[in-house]
């Protein structure tokens, strides 16, 4: 029973709160909480892809490393979009 409760809470944090952040349907406080949670998820993704990209480049797998660094850059752009509401330079 406790496992389903943890799984449901994780789904709320990772799926529902970011959707609230992007739509802003439930008010400003819910949007702020969703933005913070979504930013934390993207920061974890940036750290993971950046670290693994560095490992790939050191292991002479340059195409994989470059691809992972591109994913990290896209995560940075996604964080900017979540907070500013538009992409940079547009």
Taking the CA atoms of the chain, what radius of gyration do you get in angstroms?
16
Which structure tokens are listed for 74?
A: 């896209």
Q: Count Cβ atoms below 10 Å from residue 20 Cβ, excluding itself.
A: 20
- Verdict on whether the full-model pTM lies above 0.85: no
pLDDT in tens, 8-67: 877 777 777 777 777 777 788 878 888 888 888 889 999 999 999 999 999 999 999 999
pLDDT in tens, 63-76: 999 999 999 999 99
């Amino acid at each position: 029973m406790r496992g389903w409760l943890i799984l449901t809470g994780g789904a709320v944090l990772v799926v529902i709160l970011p959707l609230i952040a992007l739509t802003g349907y439930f008010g400003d406080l819910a949007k702020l909480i969703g933005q913070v949670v979504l930013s934390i998820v993207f920061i974890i993704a940036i750290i993971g892809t950046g670290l693994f990209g560095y490992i790939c480049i050191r292991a002479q797998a340059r195409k994989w490393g470059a691809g992972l660094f591109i994913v990290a850059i896209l995560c940075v752009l996604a964080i900017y979009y979540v907070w500013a509401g538009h992409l940079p330079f547009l």
